[in-house]
């Protein structure tokens, strides 16, 4: 089975721009979660999508948004980029079913905001 794929792997953007990141989950998985990883704050939960619906969200400003498509692929968008948004953005895939807890992470997208 193919793992979680994320594109692009690296991005350089300028302050004020917006960016869209993509995640394709493991085949058969219907849940996609997004995390931000920085040296200072560690791994922080952004939001989770299941069957095209946001089921859970973390404490990030509204500039961070996401969506999920009918094939379970997910995109994350960050508008009006700030220097502090520079981070590794990880998506994690799971079945999303009750009593199925395992999450599998992709390699991440390294975003640099200048």
Partner 1 sequence: QQQVKQSPQSLIVQKGGISIINCAYENTAFDYFPWYQQFPGKGPALLIAIRPDVSEKKEGRFTISFNKSAKQFSLHIMDSQPGDSATYFCAASIRYNFNKFYFGSGTKLNVKP
Q: Is 90 in the site for partner 1 (CB under 8 A)?
A: yes
Q: Is 56 in the site for partner 1 (CB under 8 A)?
A: yes
Q: Which of 2, 42, 62, 70 binds partner 1 (CB under 8 A)?
A: 42
3-state secondary structure 22-85: EEECCCCCCEEEEEEEECCCEEEEEEEEECCEEEEECCCCCCEEEEECCCCCEEEEECCCCHHH
Q: Is 24 in the site for partner 1 (CB under 8 A)?
A: no
Q: Name the one range near partner 1 by CB under 8 A: 13-21, 30-38, 61-69, 75-83.
A: 30-38
Distance from C-alpha of 94 to C-alpha of 101, rounded to nearest angstrom: 7
Closer by beta carbon to partner 1, 76 or else 92: 92
Distance from C-alpha of 112 to C-alpha of 87, rounded to nearest angstrom: 7
Site residues, partner 1 (CB under 8 A): 4, 31, 33, 35, 42-45, 48, 50, 55-56, 58, 90, 92, 94, 96, 98-99, 101-108
């Amino acid at each position: 089975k193919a793992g979680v794929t994320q594109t692009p792997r690296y991005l350089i953007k300028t302050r004020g721009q917006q960016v869209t990141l993509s995640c394709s989950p493991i085949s058969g998985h219907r849940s996609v979660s997004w995390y931000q990883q920085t040296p200072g704050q560690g791994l922080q939960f952004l939001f989770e999508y299941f069957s095209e619906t946001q089921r859970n969200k973390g404490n990030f400003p509204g500039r961070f948004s996401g969506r999920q498509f009918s094939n379970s692929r997910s995109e994350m968008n960050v508008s009006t980029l700030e220097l502090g948004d520079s981070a590794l953005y990880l998506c994690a895939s799971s079945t999303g079913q009750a009593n199925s807890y395992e999450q599998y992470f992709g390699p991440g997208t390294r975003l640099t905001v200048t």
